[in-house]
Amino acid sequence: MARALRWLAAVLALAGIAAAHAQGGRVPQPALEVDKSTTCVAPPEIMRRTHMNMLKHRRDRTVHEGVRGGDEALTRCIECHASRTTGAAIGARDTFCQSCHDYVGVKLDCFDCHQGRPGAVARSR
């Protein structure tokens, strides 16, 4: 009897997950509006898994060696990933960085120091 109840609970849970996916799920899908006129430093499947490591490595090179600019700079990311309507990559559920981080449940802390708009000046501490 207990085995049948566990099986029934599993089936009901899977049915609930399938129903949530059919209705779009409880978590909104990320808004992935990207400037297609340029190419990213890596394919999307690599960026999804490793962009945080690339940014940390870049941060360390900038802080310790004074290296600024280039393809892996955060400012270049913002230039391509900022919304065409708002001009920002953060601050709303329909912005690129914010929507992806909300989707996966990860705190977005790059912009505690850096501006989320292209051409904006970073605030000083």
Residue with tokens 């977005």: 108
Q: Do both 108 and 87 map to the same domain?
A: yes
Name the residue with higher pLDDT: 109 or 11: 109
Considering the domain architecture, whether residues 75 and 120 belong to the same structural domain is answered as yes
Task: List, for residues 66-83, the tens digit of each pLDDT value.
Answer: 988 888 888 888 888 888
The answer on 45 and 23 residing in a single domain is no
Asked whether residue 66 falls in the same domain as residue 111, the answer is yes
Confidence of residue 14 (pLDDT cuts 50, 70, 90): low
| Same domain? 55 vs 17 | no
The number of distinct structural domains making up the chain is 2
pLDDT at 50: 93
Q: Which domain holds residue 118?
A: 31-125
* Same domain, residue pair 2 and 41: no
Q: Roughly what angle, to the nearest 10 degrees, separates helices 74-81 and 44-65? A: 140
Domain identity same for 35 and 14: no
Q: Which residues are CB-neighbours of 45 under 8 A, at least 6 positions away?
A: none
